[in-house]
């Protein structure tokens, strides 16, 4: 049985100064062989930006931490005027155990 890890990234944003909530603009999945690879990738990708705990409720309405939300200001420099926005990336890590199966 092969084991690896998936990092699920839900990218959200809202305009600076907006009273509207955050909107999802992208979902990504990255795969890694080890937890250390994930830690290095997170460090390179998000550097020193603010990080807050992400929670989900279970069937009994109890909250448990399921990941982290990385919060930062982002910008599109590809055209003028430059657009700025607040971004929150919701990060969840899952361990995957893959098993080969035979299909007849």
Per residue in 88-101, pLDDT (tens digit) is 999 999 999 988 88
**pTM reported for the whole predicted model:** 0.85
| Backbone φ and ψ of 49, nearest 5° | -70, 160
Instruction: Give me the residues paired with residue 83 across strands.
Output: 76
Please tell me the distance from the alpha carbon of residue 12 to that of residue 18, in angstroms, as a whole number: 14
How large a percentage of the chain has pLDDT more than 90?
82
Q: Where do we find the tokens 């795969």?
A: 31
Q: Where do we find the tokens 């926005």?
A: 85
Q: Are 4 and 100 in contact (CB under 8 A)?
A: no
The region that residue 86 occupies, defined by phi over 0 for left and psi between -120 and 50 for alpha, beta otherwise, is beta
Q: Are 1 and 97 in contact (CB under 8 A)?
A: yes
DSSP 82: P
Structure-model confidence comparison of residues 1 and 103, the more confident one: 103
The mean pLDDT value for 30-57 works out to: 96
Q: Residue 68 burial by CB count (10 A; 0-12/13-18/19+): exposed, middle or buried?
A: middle
């Amino acid at each position: 049985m092969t084991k690896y890890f998936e990092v699920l990234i839900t990218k959200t944003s809202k305009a600076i100064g907006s009273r509207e909530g955050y909107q999802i603009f992208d979902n990504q999945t990255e795969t890694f062989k080890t937890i250390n690879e994930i830690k290095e990738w997170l460090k390179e990708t998000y550097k020193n930006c603010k990080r807050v705990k992400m929670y989900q409720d279970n069937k009994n309405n109890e909250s448990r931490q399921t990941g982290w939300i990385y919060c930062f200001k982002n910008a599109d420099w590809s055209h003028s005027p430059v657009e700025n926005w607040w971004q929150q990336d919701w990060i969840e890590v899952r361990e995957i155990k893959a098993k080969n199966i035979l299909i007849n």
